[in-house]
Structure 1
Amino acid sequence: KRKNKREALMNKKNRQDPNAPQFNRIPLPEIRSIDRMNRKQAAKDYLKRARLGPESLPSICFYTILNSFNLVNCIDLSDDSCWLALGLSDSTVKICTLNEKLKLRTLRALQELESLDKESDDIFNLMFDEHSGVDHKTLTGHSGPVYGVCFSPDKYFVVSGSEDGTVRLWCLLTFSCLVSYRGHNGPVWDVKFGPYGHYFASCGMDKTARIWATDQHQSLRLYTDHLADVECLCFHPNSNYLATGSSDRTIRIYDLGSIKETHQVRQYTGHKDVVNVIKFSACGRYLGTGGNDGTVLVWDISKSVIVANLNSHKQAIYSLDFSRDNTVFATGGLDNTVKVWNMAKLCKEVEQSEDFSKFVTRNETHLEIGSWQTKLTPILHLHFTRRNLLVGIGPFNDKK
């Protein structure tokens, strides 16, 4: 009987949402052994994640960058929350470790690598020089301030965008630049890796957004619908769509797999100023955006309507992130304040509502479940870890 049940489970096909794209719609390379190892570790972390809500607010770990001298333009954390990347105005990218046990190590010499037992279960760790571990590394190559930086899902690659108009792909195994991508006709404001690491996107002052692949030099897609600078972008969790925010105050969503001339599938208007940050929810149904007007808007993508209009921040919004289980989301900006909102309650209201017009006008203050203020540190980056710990990062801003 057990054997029959096991065979039935193995032969059972996974149910797929009829409205969702096919799993193989976007071509991806074969899964590497390092990816399998990372996914296995991520699954273990997810099992230990904290359950969040009004009665159990997330713990917040805030990192303040001292002596930055206004050099920090952008920040990113690796998916495992162990490594930190900073894009600086002196044209460099700085990589730091937040975990003393995971130092930044370089590969062994070629002769030593060839002598290793390639069948060893611990071959990946044996490739590194144990005596080369340091707390931070500096990547040099850009000829202008770095405005965008992003880790790959496996954290061993970083992509950066600069005022010099180039996008660079860095390898954190050798701490060197692998490729310099050219195509933008002006500064690059933001870069993002896709959820599977093979594709990444960039946007800039030339009013365009581009899709790139790590194994090709030329851009794969070029989107030119915005009327002003494209300030921010984000991949959908299924890697089939790209959302962009612009100085023209619009948000647009593009279908990456479309072969039609018109790739745009959604266009949203609602912000009264520049859109600075954009993020999909973990479930992929909702889209959060924040702008210079201090407003955070949450959109229901399937209905193409605003379901939350949050304007309790007093200054521009620069950071937004959803928890891994989609129960809460956090926002932060230049008002030195981190706010946490009840996403589970919002989803429940959306499911039960038939009239969405009321969501556009009302201020959703009842969704706010927590607010914390720093002394003089604007919040440039917020990140929920796999265990639902909220990490905030910003440079100390001494006005004196």
Structure 2
Amino acid sequence: MRNPTEGEAEEEGLENRGEEIECRGDVITSGESEGKPLRLEIKRKLAQRSERVKSVDLHPTEPWILASLYSGTVGIYNYQTQTMVKSFEVTELPVRSAKFIARKQWVVAGADDMFIRVHNYNTMDKVKVFEAHTDYIRCVAVHPTLPYVLSSSDDMLIKLWDWEKGWACTQIFEGHSHYVMQVTFNPKDTNTFASASLDRTIKIWNLGSPDPNFTLDAHLKGVNCVDYFTGGDKPYLITGSDDHTAKVWDYQTKSCVQTLEGHTHNVSAVCFHPELPIIITGSEDGTVRIWHATTYRLENTLNYGLERVWAVGYMKGSRRVVIGYDEGTIMVKLGREVPVASMDNSGKIIWAKHNEIQTVNIKSVGADYEVSDGERLPLAVKELGTCDLYPQNLKHNPNGRFVVVCGDGDYIIYTALAWRNRSFGSALEFVWSTEGEYAVRESTSKIKIFSKNFLEKKSIRPTFSAEHIYGGTLLAMCSNDFICFYDWVECRLIRRIDVNVKNLYWADSGDLVTIASDTSFYILKYNRNVVSAHLDSGRSVDEQGVEDAFELLYEINERVRTGIWVGDCFIYNNSSWRLNYCVGGEVTTMFHLYRPMYLLGYLASQSRVYLVDKEFNVIGYTLLLSLIEYKTLVMRGDLERANEILPSIPKEHHNSVAHFLESRGMVEDALEVATDPDYRFELAINLGKLEITKEIATAAHSESKWKQLGELALSTGMLETAEECLKQANDLSGLLLLYSSLGDAEGIADLASLAKEHGKNNVAFICLFMLGKLEDCLQLLVDSDRIPEAALVARSYLPSKVSEIVGVWRKDLNKINQKAAESLADPEEYTNLFDDWQVALAVESKVAEARGNYPPAAEYAQQADRSTASLVETFRNMELEEEEEAEEPMENGDLDYEDAEPNGEVQEELDETQVEGGFIKSQEEAPVFLKVIGLVKFPCLVAVLTPYVMEMESTQDRRFSCKLFLSCFVLYAMPERGGLVELSVFLHLR
């Protein structure tokens, strides 16, 4: 055992606050080497403070960073949510190396306690713990395909572990004479690996052989780190040393290719970036340096103020780089992930992978090969050549003969077929005009315009800082918050528009342009004739340009990632990676992309739009040109030509056309075009087309459609159609409304039977009640096990049935509560508990004679008047009879309407009788009011009070009667009976 090396002495642990670093860090552009920088965009994606980070790793599929700490903890951070998602308390000693084994859902870690530990990062369980070395474990490396893990240690040994054999040590590699700081597998030949040691050497090994293949020795001090170049063209590896340098080696010739100098302290981490032509070195001087992998010039220096750098991590297929410091973890994203590719009008695609230029042809896919939308095309890739600079942009000219490559502050124009250099020069940006001319931006204050023959025509020095330029019909130069358009010939200002521009897309016609900003895009119309007339007139142009040069047509609140114009249709993918197109301000989603993809172009001959992902997989989606043309003509108001094109659009796209027409307010046209029955039904309903809706509903056999149609027929007064539709829909409630409105007693009777069959007891009850079939109502309640309700109905309408129902109720209730069943009173046994029981029976017998006779609904007015008159006369006769009977004592010695004294004597006088807060002023009026109180127990007779109240002379009596009327209504009138009271009175008492 030995003490830690210089710079690794244990320090006081820093609190892991898990917060984002406030200091953004400085990006220092190199002034130390000649040449133009790559100008890679560098964005910080994660800043997480913690104790000293000794190693970092990226998960291949999850947005996770693995960081092992000097404190003995291993943490997993989610760089999308900026949070720690997992934490393993591995040991109390430093964990110097930890790696993901994604195919097993494991994390393997080596620590200073000489143990290797394996955890499942999903369950947090320990999979394996074993002692691997006799000194500090410096590094673990996972084989990309085989079940192997390499470990290196301060015991100067390298060991190979096989997890399929229970983590047995299958091989030991000896040869170093000092601490072995790092081991790494060769990505091009995974049977070999390299090791770096403080004995100042790098050794190359083969699995299966205990001796090294060869040794590289050129550093002046110990070697801390080593990494292989992942590209296919160079057999290189890079090392970092305590001599403050990094060296690039050719392991085939065993020679040092380049020494990278510039760090002021030990170089602790190095890597070749797998996607970009850069080398990254990290040092204990606190900086991360980015070098050009071809020219070896220093491109950038990153300093985030987190003290010493200990680790750098990367992942193939990603431009993210994670850096481990003394005080936390930083993740940055280098450059854009948009693939450098371009497609011409014939379907030939050229793209750049690093400095290699390749080409594919979409038309090489045979016509017999059926390609589905979203399926990757099986394209044969051909090597076209190489590029002398690192391509950051690549674009065909309008006719497809030439291709420009821009990067490293230069541009080169090549021929598209032979890849021959035709012209070159300095440029930060390069754009083509629609006529084949081009412009370059050499700086923020100098733009040059060249002819088709590659000759310089004009040099412009704008009065503002030109941050970007865009080509097309006009030459556009933009600053941070505005854009200026110029003509290509004389560079005259056409128009200034105050908007923050992220990209610009011109239609081929030159009449439409899309300006894309951060959160939305604008479609403008370029009034070419207005501009020409203004310029030809010789009138001066102010700093805003020609006022009517552009006309804003539409503003869409979506972010455009990439876009192209096809005719008057703008195709784009948005921030949610949906592939949309916009015609006439209407946005239609074509497809939901399941991964980031970027538009290449549109082939009219195939009616397909093509996209490419960052792995250069080409995918196509169908977008009919005839569909675009049709929508364009509709927007222009040329319906005659649009209808000529319609037959060429396949039937499966007619619904899309119909939706477009509906959005334009052309609903009848949409109905003619639509093919989907459900959609056509909705359109027909909106238009009130009953015949069409009836045909669709008949074919669909859909109750919901029949119900909608029935409601439409009702609203338009087509009652016979409404009846048919409601029957087809089994809409019994709707039929009840219809029949009751028509006064159709036969229909109500049929509906009652139908409702019983369908178990719609509420509807059946109302039908029977309206027909006056009170016995059937009572039986329905009993059959549906609603016995308490049956008892109430019997008490109100059929008092002669009360005893029978009470018996049924007692029997049913006795199953649950015998005492409660016994407490039910039968009016035949306890007449004294039921007020005016005899009167109720008498009224029932009189009303029963009239039930079942239904006069025509047309005679309602006459019958209603007669019924009212007969009802009042009936009550007057009842009053006279009651007064006559009052003179003769009843069997018990009491009078029907007088209070009996306990000794059987009758109270002779009622000077003032109080009833429910109202007063009867004389004895003569008492019998009538007492009779009313008895009768109001029948809700169907509540209406009796209305004419009676109107005949009263006393205001006090009227007030009492109104209170009584309201009390009875609240107590007895159920909501569904509210509309039936008048009808019931009419049927019973006519």
Q: TM-score, normalised by structure 2?
A: 0.28
Q: Name the amino acid aligned to 1:166.
A: F
Partner of 1:325: 275
SS of equivalent residue, structure 1 residue 302: coil
Partner of 2:223: 275
Partner of 2:201: 250
Q: 1:306 to 1:170 in 2, by over 3 A?
A: same
Partner of 2:294: 344
Partner of 1:15: none
Q: Name the amino acid aligned to 2:223.
A: V
Q: Which moved more, 1:89-98 or 1:333-342?
A: 89-98
Q: Name the amino acid aligned to 1:253.
A: I
Q: Which of residues 129, 140, 143 is equivalent to 1:180?
A: 129
Partner of 1:57: 40
Q: 1:183 to 1:377 in 2, by over 3 A?
A: closer
Q: Name the amino acid aligned to 1:156.
A: Q
CA distance in 1, matches of 2:291, 2:268: 16
Q: Which of residues 49, 59, 67 is equivalent to 1:86?
A: 67
CA distance in 1, matches of 2:254, 2:102: 29
Residue-by-residue CA offset, 1:301-354 (whole Å, 9 max, x unaligned):
111000011121111112222222362111111112121111134xxxxxxxxx
Partner of 2:263: 313
Q: Name the amino acid aligned to 1:378.
A: R
Partner of 1:190: 139
Q: Judge conservation of contact 1:153–1:195 (CA < 8 Å) in 2.
A: no
Q: Judge conservation of contact 2:245–2:261 (CA < 8 Å) in 1.
A: yes
Residue-by-residue CA offset, 1:254-288 (whole Å, 9 max, x unaligned):
01144xxx531120111122211111111372111
Partner of 1:369: 299
Residue-by-residue CA offset, 1:77-131 (whole Å, 9 max, x unaligned):
2234721222223333222222239xxxxxxxxxxxxxxxxxxxxxxxxxxxxxx
CA distance in 2, matches of 1:67, 1:242: 32
Matches within 5 A, 1:197-208: 198-208=147-157
Count matched residues.
Answer: 288
Displacement of 1:153? 4.8
Is 1:264 the counterpart of 2:264? The answer is no
Q: Name the amino acid aligned to 1:269.
A: D
Q: Judge conservation of contact 1:181–1:218 (CA < 8 Å) in 2.
A: no
Displacement of 1:188? 0.7
Q: Judge conservation of contact 2:98–2:109 (CA < 8 Å) in 1.
A: yes
Residue-by-residue CA offset, 1:230-249 (whole Å, 9 max, x unaligned):
11111111311111111111
SS of equivalent residue, structure 1 residue 150: strand
Q: Which moved more, 1:147-156 or 1:265-274?
A: 147-156
SS of equivalent residue, structure 1 residue 185: coil
Q: 1:330 to 1:153 in 2, by over 3 A?
A: farther
Partner of 1:77: 58
Displacement of 1:214? 2.0
Q: Which of residues 318, 331, 334 is equivalent to 1:387?
A: 318
Identical pairs, percent: 24
Partner of 2:108: 159
Q: Name the amino acid aligned to 1:87.
A: S
User: Is the strand fraction higher in 1 or 2?
Assistant: 1
Partner of 1:298: 248
Q: 1:140 to 1:215 in 2, by over 3 A?
A: farther
Partner of 1:120: none
Q: 1:60 to 1:287 in 2, by over 3 A?
A: farther
Displacement of 1:151? 1.5
Q: Judge conservation of contact 1:58–1:390 (CA < 8 Å) in 2.
A: no
CA distance in 1, matches of 2:292, 2:303: 18
Q: 1:198 to 1:99 in 2, by over 3 A?
A: farther
Displacement of 1:371? 2.0
CA distance in 1, matches of 2:140, 2:297: 31
CA distance in 1, matches of 2:250, 2:41: 24
Q: Judge conservation of contact 1:211–1:221 (CA < 8 Å) in 2.
A: yes
Q: TM-score, normalised by structure 1?
A: 0.66
Q: 1:154 to 1:294 in 2, by over 3 A?
A: farther
Q: Judge conservation of contact 1:283–1:326 (CA < 8 Å) in 2.
A: no
User: Is the helix fraction higher in 1 or 2?
Assistant: 2
Higher RCO (CA < 8 A, seq sep 6+): 1
CA distance in 2, matches of 1:186, 1:387: 35
Q: Name the amino acid aligned to 1:273.
A: K
CA distance in 2, matches of 1:322, 1:274: 20
CA distance in 2, matches of 1:377, 1:81: 28
SS of equivalent residue, structure 1 residue 278: strand
Displacement of 1:381? 2.8
Q: Any unmatched runs of 5+ in structure 2?
A: 1-35, 329-990
Residue-by-residue CA offset, 1:37-91 (whole Å, 9 max, x unaligned):
xxxxxxxxxxxxxxxx9434252536444252xx433332223472122222333
Is 1:223 the counterpart of 2:173? The answer is yes
Q: Judge conservation of contact 1:65–1:395 (CA < 8 Å) in 2.
A: no
CA distance in 1, matches of 2:200, 2:62: 31
Q: Name the amino acid aligned to 2:220.
A: K
